[in-house]
Structure 1
Amino acid sequence: MAPVRILGKVAGFGIWIGGICLLVSSTLIVVDLILRKFFGWSLGGADEISGYVLAIVSAWAFPITLLRRSHIRVDVVYTHMPRRIRIVLDLFAMTCMGVFIGVLTYHAWQVLMDSIAFNAISNTPLQVPQWIPQSLWFAGYLFFLVTIVVLLACSLWLLARRRPREVGGLIGIHSVEEEIHEEVHPESMAAVSPGHQTMQEK
């Protein structure tokens, strides 16, 4: 589906940028440790920057994890239930996640607004204006919330069009066949766009 594909592209771009930022921050930490060990000198702020990066990258990693249906869920009973009940459970789980992330995003927004209102800066030598990392952090959660809403809307649209099998491929749990295929051919599973039917249902 087009909206899901667009979200997938944005999320994919986000994790690439996040991966680069993690690599850079890790390099800074390594360089800082070497300088401290052998020269008694520190870059200063490497740990602070890595903390910002970790928080921001984590927020931006949630959407792609959801789009690829990689969040851990207990499926001992789920897999033995009829498709209709599985769909109801999937919609319920997605709704609960949406409510939780909605509350989290709201509070993230409040934190950002407070930082802007009070012109907050970090109590460190870098004195980073807090609105800068918090804006990127908030944007990650906001995009995650948008992703949940779009997936819910697309799932309901598929149900209205009487295409329940595709709902499982959009918000359901990976089938055993998919998990086996992902272990054997991880590159092919990574290339699959969200919203496709599961291998079992096909």
Structure 2
Amino acid sequence: MVGDIKTGPASAGPIFDFGARVTAVLCGTVLTGLVLLVCTEAFLRGVFNYSLGFAEEVTGYCVVFLTFFGASLALRGRAMFQVHFLLDNWPEGTRKWLVRIFALIAIAICILLAWKTKDLTLSSFSRGKFAPTVLRTPLWIPQIVPPLGFSVLGFFLVEQFLLTFSTTRSDT
């Protein structure tokens, strides 16, 4: 099996394992901070009728971060939705080519989206834009998450593409 609990996800090399570890640590840290912030906000509102004021803004940023980086880990762990009843009916060689084509198209889309969202981030940075919120967060800070997220997703798509050339795997 490709990525069961005992062996973990298939790997195309140590650079991808390191990237996955870094991504997992970042996701775990952000998720822990998110849970602490939400619990603190709920406690303060329930017990003292007091709000931190910035909790909604920061939790929104955390959710976006977790969406991008969590999707990257799900892709690597082969936990994304797939149309198995179609894919499994194809011969192994055809299936590998379908996965390769999908990976190449998805990599191209990730590059395009990373490039365009990077442009938005740089525009906000150069113009000194701030969020109209309590924290007045410089917009480039939350806007840097999408280009980084698309880059990490593309990184793991490259790994999936490389894995299709592996002879030790029986399924892709």
TM-score over 0.5 for the pair? yes
Sequence identity (%):
20
Query: RMSD of aligned C-alpha atoms?
Result: 2.3
User: Which of 100, 107, 116 matches 1:91?
Assistant: 100
Taking the TM superposition and a 5 Å limit, the aligned residue runs for 1:123-162 are 123-152=132-161, 154-155=162-163, 158=165
CA offsets 1:45-104 (integer angstroms, 9 cap, x no match): 111101111111221122222222221110112212211111111112212222322222
Deviation at 1:9, TM superposition (A): 2.0
Q: Could you tell me how far apart the structure 2 residues matched to 1:119 and 1:83 are?
A: 53
Q: Could you tell me how far apart the structure 2 residues matched to 1:151 and 1:68 are?
A: 10
Q: Could you tell me how far apart the structure 2 residues matched to 1:76 and 1:35 are?
A: 49
Confirm whether residue 49 of structure 1 aligns to residue 58 of structure 2.
Answer: yes
Partner of 1:39: 48
Q: Which has the higher contact order (CA 8 A, sep 6+)?
A: 2
Taking the TM superposition and a 5 Å limit, the aligned residue runs for 1:160-199 are 164=167, 166=169, 172=172
Structure-2 change in CA distance of 1:79 and 1:38 (3 Å): same
User: Which structure 1 residue ranges, 4+ long, deviate > 3 Å from structure 2?
Assistant: 1-4, 163-166
Confirm whether residue 16 of structure 1 aligns to residue 16 of structure 2.
Answer: no
1:144 maps to a residue whose letter is: L
Q: TM-score, normalised by structure 2?
A: 0.81
Confirm whether residue 60 of structure 1 aligns to residue 62 of structure 2.
Answer: no
Deviation at 1:2, TM superposition (A): 7.9
Partner of 1:28: 37
Higher helix share: 1
Mind listing any 5+ residue stretches in structure 1 that lack a counterpart?
173-202
1:22 and 1:50 in contact (8 A); partners too: no
Partner of 2:4: none
Q: Could you tell me how far apart the structure 1 residues matched to 2:142 and 2:168 are?
A: 41
2:89 maps to a residue whose letter is: H
Q: Could you tell me how far apart the structure 1 residues matched to 2:35 and 2:11 are?
A: 36
Confirm whether residue 4 of structure 1 aligns to residue 13 of structure 2.
Answer: yes
Q: Could you tell me how far apart the structure 2 residues matched to 1:24 and 1:135 are?
A: 19
Q: Could you tell me how far apart the structure 1 residues matched to 2:11 and 2:21 are?
A: 15
2:128 and 2:138 in contact (8 A); partners too: yes
2:54 and 2:135 in contact (8 A); partners too: yes
